[in-house]
Chain A
Amino acid sequence: MISNKTDSELGRELMTVRGFQWIYGVKDDPYALLLRAESDDPHELGRKVRERGRLYWSSAEAWVTADHATGAEALADGRLGVRPPAPESVPNDRASYAWQIPSLDDVFPLDDACLKLPRDEYTRLRALVEPAFTGEAAPAQHAAAVKHHEQRLDALGSGESGFDLTADLLRPAVTATVASLLGVPVERGAEYGRICSNAAVTLDATLCPPRLNTARSLITAVAECRQLAGELTTAALRNPGEDLLSRVSRAADRPTGQVLCTLFTAVGVEVAVTLAGNAVSALLDRRDEWTKLTEDPARAADVVTETLRHAPPVRMQKLVAGEETVLGGERVKTGGQVVVLIEAADRDAGAFRDADRFVVGRKTSASDLFGTEGLPVSVVSAFARTHAAAALETLARRLPGLHRTGPAVRRLRSPVSGGLLQFPVAA
């Protein structure tokens, strides 16, 4: 549907949605300001959301929570998911408006990115994927991720003259790891890297309209990804290897393999890059923690766990009510949007003591909200953890003197992932 629009039509519609996001924020609506994703401090905005109660109605047309218990309840609620209900079951109470403000989902539906499946699908897929990263196969996956980082670091040399942590190390290493998980032929590595990099904004584009050129690249990337997923799955079934895609396709079916391929490409790579980047960033800002890691690289897994709570690679999750639901004492109508501010909810002092502090090895009974089952990110969460731990461990071992050489720059219009654009460092 999108591809039928001319550039000026699509550009104009994306711009209109963005224009409204700006003006929703004018009255200090904290969720609208989070969507704006400019220079406001997201943690301060998260606190403001919590001050408004367990669930508050934002002028950006969504119920929003930064309360840990309510967030956990919403993410786990079977009536809330990512699949929109059939249009006929959604009450149309906006018909009287002279001009319908376009919704991002109508303007830019991204239907082929596999982000709107029923919860069961994600649960099933996660069950097929997770053993590869948590069971007996885990050490092999870890070793593979370490190898990809080692290779990149070898190419970078001593690192003394400085390099970009994201562009020169994390992104290529993650892309190479995912390529091997999916059995991407070596000769298509560059093509695959381009697809991943153009698809990096997928999660953000579910909540914040991208610029026209970014949107066009994303549409192309999603289409290429779909095509590639078909080819790779066919190859995996015809000539199965030991890669993840072959195993999942054999254990399930071809469509499942295609969804796996799409989710790892469009979501997995960016989530893993951002998680590893956020973890390194947290440690470089706390030199003693970095030193401890260099002395004991086995701490990497705990660093990743705390990063997932303190600076998760997915800061918010949009849900839609498949049927009328009561949440946080409010009635959410069928088709209504609920946004869980994962990052903010994981800094809820009601759930975590000293919630704003970064505490490696934190003892807590609450769990962070990253990767809740039944949602797209859950399929790639175990992979992202494994990969980030491998990245930290390798860096700590190889480049103990790692330090920043300039401020990290995050993408604009990136309220979900806070994607890292530049992360200048030196060894």
Chain B
Amino acid sequence: MRVLMTSFAMDAHFAGSVPLAWALRAAGHEVRVASQPALTGTITAAGLTAVPVGVDHDHDTVLREAGPGIFALHQNKDYLENNHQRLGTDFLTGHMTVMTALFYSRINSDPVIDDLVEYARYWRPDLVVWEPFTFAGAVAAIASGAAHARLLSFPDMFLNARMLFLERLRSRRPPNDDDPMADWLTPVLARFGCEFGEEAVTGQWSIDQMPAGVRLSLGNPLVPMRYVPYNGLVPAVVPDWLRSAPARPRVCVTLGVTAQRSGFPHTVALEDLFTAMRGLDVEIVATMSADELARVPDVPENVRVVESVPLDSLLPTCSAIVHHGGAGTWATAAALGVPQIAMGWMWDHLYRARRLEALGAGLHLPTDELTPTGLRSRLVRLLREPGFRRNAELLSTSIRSEPSPAAVVPVLERLTERHRPTPGTRSRLRPRVPAL
């Protein structure tokens, strides 16, 4: 098969697609990864083939202007905790309006979509696998006649909210049946002679890397897949100090890469993190950029600061991890069975952290409640109570019991065959090349 994978240019959102891309390659399929030019280096660093499309998005700029409002709108307990049935229609309308206007339509700009469709019509992929906010992938698939699927690296709260929104919309008659996603994608698809359908939002199916207990079952076709960590967003090199067992229990502290690399607001006071851990008989390994480090006046003696380290090399040596709540860090720790203190205040961070706590595999520390005492007491519990390690290992076992990316490949082959508009014909098609 030819598989076109696509993610908008944000490292953390791309990272979740790398193991599947490798699995498809290793099974002999052709794989290309399309994104804005800014992601090209990240794609090729993962050993994959990049197709730069369109122009770079302006998400950071928009976030500077609109970020506080977007986050304030979503500081709604019912939304963050995934109690979506309780959400009012005004909230859902605002969520759809704001996300479509200031996020989806900006990271999927017309030049990106145009280029991606043009490439897909030339290269003729059998399957397009798209990151769940990269709707350009769905448009390209529909416009080129390919099968298409979303690849989830986080709980599907966005689609959950959308499905509820559509349910509420049914009681409204035109022109009050205001669906921002349809309003946006209808003229976009029309440019390529295609019609909007909900599949442009949901994909024909979803590949979901969340483990049972965290995954949301929304009733749409789902292919569960094991989360396999990919840590190549930072140099994946095992340092000297990581080549022997630690003398004391080791604790990893990281705030992820997104806050360092994009305009995302950084709401954690690093100083509080360090104060909380000062004097504990543990070895702290903190990943921190030089800029971040410069803001910390006094690093305690039990802290080893590193610019970066591959988490999948570090975490197996750790007794616990304290992190910002991001999807990749959360899932890597979960997959490796390490008890976590997950902070978090936005998007799916809160829900994921709450699920972790409910599964007994870690504790949630709401970012706005971060105090040295609050963090220290949680960390001490995590290190002293064996239940956390046991449950973290159970979570890890449950993740490992999901089909690996390699095992998912044949499933994708079958689904692609089934969803192709004209079964059995496309695999013979090749990209057009001039004949002599």
- A14-22, A108-116, A258-266 - interface stretch: A14-22
Given A26-B72, A99-B62, the answer on whether A211 and B175 have CB atoms closer than 8 Å is yes
Chain B interface: which of A3-11, A47-55, A222-230, A373-381? A3-11
Whether A8 contacts B101 in the complex (CB less than 8 A), given A19-B66, A23-B70, comes out as no
Q: How far is the CA of A94 from the CA of B230 in the complex (A)?
A: 43
Shortest A281–chain B CB gap in Å is 18
| Chain B residues whose C-beta falls within 8 Å of the C-beta of A23 in the assembled complex | 66, 69-70, 72-73, 98, 102
Contact: A26 with B73, CB < 8 Å? yes
**Which one of A85-93, A135-143, A239-247, A407-415 is at the B interface?**
A407-415
Q: Given A11-B187, A15-B183 in contact, is the A99-B58 Cβ separation under 8 Å?
A: yes
Q: Does the CB pair B176–A12 fall under 8 Å? A: no
A98 to B61, CA, bound (A): 7
Report B72-125 residues with CB < 8 Å from chain A CB.
72-73, 88-90, 93-94, 97-98, 100-102, 105, 110
Q: How far is the CB of B103 from chain A (nearest CB, A)?
A: 9
Q: Does A355 contact B (CB under 8 A)?
A: no
List B residues 351-405 near A (Cβ within 8 Å): none
Does B190 belong to the interface (CB within 8 Å)? Answer: yes
Complex Cα distance A36/B190, Å?
28
**Which chain B residues border A15 with CB–CB below 8 Å?**
97, 100-101, 105, 180, 183-184
CB-defined contacts of B266 to chain A, threshold 8 Å: none
> B268 to nearest A CB, angstroms?
23
Q: A39: CB under 8 A from chain B?
A: yes
- Which A-chain residue is minimally distant from B88 (CB atoms)? A39
Answer whether A412 and B98 are a contact pair too, CB < 8 Å, given A38-B90, A101-B65, A212-B183. no
Residues A411 and B110 in contact, CB atoms below 8 Å apart:
no
Tell me if B64 is interfacial: C-beta within 8 Å of chain A.
Answer: yes
Q: Cα distance A17–B94 when bound, in Å?
A: 13
> Which residues from B are CB-within-8-Å of A9?
110
Q: B147 on the interface (CB 8 Å rule)?
A: no
Closest to B113 in A: A8
Taking A7-B187, A27-B72, A99-B65 as contacts, is the C-beta distance between A16 and B102 under 8 angstroms? yes
Which A residues are CB-close (under 8 A) to B98? Answer: 19, 22-23
Q: How far is the CB of B61 from chain A (nearest CB, A)?
A: 5
CB contact list, A191-231 vs B, under 8 A: 211-214
Write the chain A residue with the least CB distance to B99: A19
Hey, which chain A residues are within 8 Å of B97, CB to CB? Answer: 15, 18-19, 22
Flag whether B432 is at the interface (Cβ < 8 A).
Answer: no
Query: In the complex the two chains form, is B110's CB within 8 Å of A26's CB?
Result: no
Please state if B176 and A11 are interface contacts (CB–CB under 8 Å).
no
Q: Which residues of A contact B50 (CB under 8 A)?
A: none
Can you list, as one digit per residue, whether each of B41-69 has a CB less than 8 Å from chain A (1) or not (0)? Answer: 00000000000000000100110111001
CB atoms of B94 and A12 under 8 A apart: no
Query: A97 — which chain B residues lie within 8 A by C-beta?
Result: 65
Are the C-beta atoms of A19 and B101 separated by less than 8 Å? yes
Using known A-B contacts A9-B110, A421-B176, determine if residue A98 contacts B64 with beta carbons closer than 8 Å.
yes
Interface presence of A423 (CB below 8 A): no
**Docked pose: A24 CA to B100 CA in angstroms:** 16
Q: Which residue on chain A has the smallest CB distance to residue B187? A: A7
Quick check: is B243 within 8 A (CB to CB) of the other chain? no
Q: How far is the CA of A20 from the CA of B88 in the complex (A)?
A: 20
Q: Is the CB of A18 within 8 A of B69?
A: no
Per-residue 0/1 for A163-203: is the Cβ within 8 Å of any B Cβ (1 yes, 0 no)? 00000000000000000000000000000000000000000
Contact B69 A26 (CB under 8 A): yes
List A contacts of B62 (CB < 8 A): 99
Question: Considering residues A15, A19, A40, which has the most beta carbons from chain B within 10 angstroms of its beta carbon?
Answer: A19
Docked CA distance A53–B79 (Å): 34
Indicate whether B272 reaches chain A with its CB closer than 8 angstroms. no
Query: Do A11 and B178 contact each other (CB < 8 Å), given the known contacts A19-B66, A26-B73, A39-B90?
Result: no
Partner of B188, one of A8, A20, A40: A8
Kindly list chain A residues whose C-beta atoms are within 8 Å of the C-beta of B65: 97-99, 101
- Give every chain A residue within 8 A of B93 (Cβ-Cβ): 38
Picked from A8, A18, A101, A411, the residue with its CB within 8 Å of the CB of B176 is: A411
| CB pair A16 B101 closer than 8 Å | yes
A409/B173 contact (C-beta < 8 A), A15-B184, A98-B64, A99-B58 known:
yes
- CB-CB under 8 A from B64, the residues of chain A are 98-99
In angstroms, Cα B364 to Cα A93, docked, is 44
Q: Which B residues are in CB contact (< 8 Å) with A214? A: 175
Q: Is the CB of A12 within 8 A of B178?
A: no
Q: Which residues of A28-50 are within 8 A (CB) of B?
A: 36, 38-40
Q: Bound state CA distance, A38 and B172, in angstroms?
A: 13
User: Are the C-beta atoms of A211 and B188 separated by less than 8 Å?
Assistant: no
Q: Are B176 and A20 in contact (CB under 8 A)?
A: no
* Highest count of chain A CB atoms <10 Å: which of B102, B178, B187, B190: B187
- Cα–Cα, bound, A15→B97 (Å): 8
Question: Given B69, B105, B176, which contacts A409 in the complex, CB threshold below 8 Å?
Answer: B176
Contact B69 A24 (CB under 8 A): yes
With a cutoff of 8 Å between Cβ atoms, the chain A residues found around residue B110 in the complex are: 8-9, 12
Chain A contacts of B248 at CB under 8 A? none
Give the docked Cα–Cα distance between A15 and B103 (Å). 11
Residues of chain B within 8 A of A101, CB atoms compared: 65
Report yes or no: B175 in contact with A212, Cβ–Cβ below 8 A. Answer: no
Note all chain A residues with C-beta closer than 8 A to B61.
98-99
B304 within 8 A of A: no
Q: Shortest Cβ distance from B372 into chain A, in angstroms?
A: 31
Tell whether B191 is near chain A: CB-to-CB under 8 Å: yes
Cα A15 to Cα B62 in complex, Å, equals 14
For residue B222, give the distance in angstroms from its CB to the closest CB of chain A.
30
Chain B 207-260 residues near chain A, CB threshold 8 A: none
User: A392-421 interface mask toward B, CB cutoff 8 Å, 1 = contact, 0 = none?
Assistant: 000000000000000001011100000001
Complex contacts, A19 vs chain B, CB 8 Å = 66, 97-98, 100-102
Q: How far is the CB of A44 from chain B (nearest CB, A)?
A: 14
Q: Give the interface centre of B73, B176, B184 by most chain A CB atoms within 10 Å.
A: B176
User: With A and B bound together, what is the CA distance between A213 and B179 in angstroms?
Assistant: 12
- Contacts of A213 on B, CB cut-off 8 Å? 175, 183
A164 to chain B, nearest CB (A): 12
| A211 and B70 contact, CB distance less than 8 A | no
Residues in B neighbouring A421, C-beta threshold 8 A: 173, 175-176
Which B residue sits closest to A9, measured CB to CB? B110
- CB of A133 to closest CB in B, whole Å: 32
Query: Interface centre among B100, B101, B187, by most A CB within 10 Å?
Result: B101
Q: How far is the CA of A101 from the CA of B110 in the complex (A)?
A: 19
What separation, in Å, do the CA atoms of A148 and B100 have in the docked complex?
Answer: 45
Q: Tell me the complex Cα distance, A99–B115, Å.
A: 24
> What residue of chain A has the Cβ atom nearest to residue B91's Cβ?
A38
**Taking CB as reference atom, which chain B residue is nearest A40?**
B90
- B173 to chain A: which residues have CB within 8 Å? 409, 421-422
Interface pair B90/A8, CB less than 8 Å apart = no
Interface pairs (5), CB distance under 8 Å? A6-B187, A25-B94, A36-B94, A212-B187, A422-B173
A22-B69, A213-B183 given; 16 more Cβ-contact pairs under 8 Å = A8-B184, A9-B110, A15-B180, A16-B102, A18-B101, A19-B97, A19-B100, A20-B102, A22-B94, A23-B72, A25-B94, A39-B90, A99-B58, A409-B173, A412-B178, A421-B175
- Enumerate chain A interface residues (CB-CB to B < 8 A): 6-9, 11-12, 15-16, 18-20, 22-27, 36, 38-40, 97-99, 101, 211-214, 409, 411-413, 421-422
